Amino acid sequence: MKKAVILINKMSADPLPDEQDVLEQAASVEKAMLMCGYSSQRVYFDLNLAITWKLLSKIKPDVVFNLVETVGGRGELIHLAPTLLECLEIPFTGSASFTIYLSSHKVLAKKRFIDLGLPTPNWYYGENLAEKIPEGKYIVKPLWEDGSAGITDNSVFDLDTSTFDRLPVIRKNRKVFLEEYIQGREFNISVIGGDREPLVLPPAEIRFKGYPQGKPHILNYASKWDEDSFEYSNSERHFDFAGEDAALIERLKRISLCCWKGIELSGYARFDFRIDQNNEPFLLEVNANPCLSPDAGFFAAAGMAGLDYKEVVERIVKDACTKSAIN
C-alpha cells in the first residue's frame, strides 16, 4: 500500500472554530485516502521546519496532502509548507509555494488580476492609501487571513467627511487594506484539477435572507463559524439559477479559468465574486487549497457535479502526482 502524509498546522493553545476545522478536514481526507489505496499518518507543521524535514525524510511518503492553513498562527507564513515539500521533492497536493504566497497576499493577488485584465474592486493599501480617497462605501479586509477572520459588520463603512479619521489608522496597520465595497450578489466558483484540463464545478450564490435594512450583505466571521448567529442561519448557499443568469455564469467561469492559468493554480481552488447593480462581476479573491470539510462550499459544489468525497480527493492526489512527474 502506498504511503501518504496528511500535513496540517499545529493547533494553538486555545484554537477558535476556524482553526479546529482543519482537524475535520484531516479526518475526512484520511478516510478517503484509505479508499484510494493509501495508508496515511498525520504530521503537524509549525515553525520548527527541521523537525518536519527529518520526519518526512524518514517516512518517505509517496504523496503529502497539504492542509496547512497557518504557521505559528500566522496566515502570511502558509507558503512555508509547500516550500519545504518542494525542497524535499515530495509530491504534494494543491498549489506551489509561489502561487500560495501570491494568492494569500490579497493586494499582490489583486495586482496580478489587473495584469491579467480581470475585473476587481479598487483598493488602497499602506502608503498608497491617499488621504483623499473618493467618498463611497468601503470594506476593511485582512491582508493575509482567510475564512473571513477579523471581518464584522463594522468592517463596512461609508467614507465621507465624518469618517476620514479612520484612514490614518488603516494606513498604519500593515495587516489590512481598504477595498471598494460592491453592493450586490455574491458568487463562488470552484475549480478542481486532476485531469487534462481543470474542471469548473457548478457555481454557487450566497443569498442573504432576512437581513435588516442597513446590514451589510457580507460573509463575515460569524456567518462562517458561529452556528448560533443570525448570519450563520441566514447566509444560504444556492445552486439554482434563472435562465437569465446563464451569460453571467459563463463569464464567471471564463474569469476563473483565466485566473487559474494566470497564477498557476493546481489541485483545487475557489474564486469569490461580487456582482454589482449593472450585472458586472468583480473578482474579490482566489482561495488556493480551500477548505475541504464535507460541509464546506467546495465539496458542496463538487457534490452538485456528481463527485463524492473519495472522487474529489482522488482527483486532487492525481493532480499532485502528475504535477510532480512533469516537474
For 210-231, write each residue's pLDDT tens digit: 999 989 999 888 888 888 899 9
With a CB cutoff of 8 Å and minimum separation 6, the contacts of 122 are 179, 180
Q: Three cell numbers at 14? A: 486555545
Domain boundary among 112, 146, 180: 180
Residues 194 and 55 in one domain: no
- Of 77, 280, 99, nearest in space to 193 by CA: 99
Residues 145 and 244 in one domain: no
Q: What is the pLDDT of residue 146?
A: 73
Domain that holds residue 284: 102-120+182-326
Residues 108 and 153 in one domain: no
User: Residue 11 and residue 13: Cα distance in Å, rounded?
Assistant: 7
Q: What is the pLDDT of residue 187?
A: 98
Q: What is the pLDDT of residue 108?
A: 95
Indicate the pLDDT class of residue 163, thresholds 50, 70 and 90: confident
User: Residue 101 and residue 83: Cα distance in Å, rounded?
Assistant: 10
The tens digit of pLDDT for each residue in 250-304 reads 999 999 999 999 999 999 999 999 999 999 999 999 999 999 999 999 999 999 9
Indicate the pLDDT class of residue 102, thresholds 50, 70 and 90: very high
Domain boundary among 180, 205, 224: 180
User: Residue 83 and residue 100: Cα distance in Å, rounded?
Assistant: 10
Please state the domain count of the chain.
3
Residues 197 and 175 in one domain: no
Q: What is the CATH number of the domain that holds 291?
A: 3.30.470.20
**First-to-last C-alpha distance (Å) of the chain:** 24
Residues 132 and 72 in one domain: no
Buried b / exposed e over 256-280, threshold 16 CB at 10 Å, is bbebbeebebbbbbbbbbbbeeeee
% of the chain with per-residue pLDDT over 70: 95
Q: Between residues 170 and 79, which one has the greater pLDDT?
A: 79
**pLDDT > 60? residue 195:** yes
Q: What is the pLDDT of residue 197?
A: 87
Q: Three cell numbers at 116? A: 491579467
Q: Three cell numbers at 321? A: 502526482
Helix (H) or strand (E) holding 189: strand 185-192
Q: What is the pLDDT of residue 167?
A: 74
Other C-beta atoms lying within 10 Å of the C-beta of residue 151: 22
Q: What is the pLDDT of residue 117?
A: 98
Ranges assigned E (strand) in 246-313: 268-275, 281-288
**pLDDT > 80? residue 148:** no
SS3 6: strand
Average pLDDT, the chain: 91
Residues 109 and 230 in one domain: yes
**pLDDT > 70? residue 128:** no
Residues 83 and 109 in one domain: no
**pLDDT > 70? residue 132:** no
Strand partners, 52: none
Residues 188 and 319 in one domain: yes
Count of residues in the chain: 327
Cα distances from 130 to residues 135, 144, 160, 164, in angstroms, run 12, 21, 14, 11
User: Residue 180 and residue 78: Cα distance in Å, rounded?
Assistant: 26
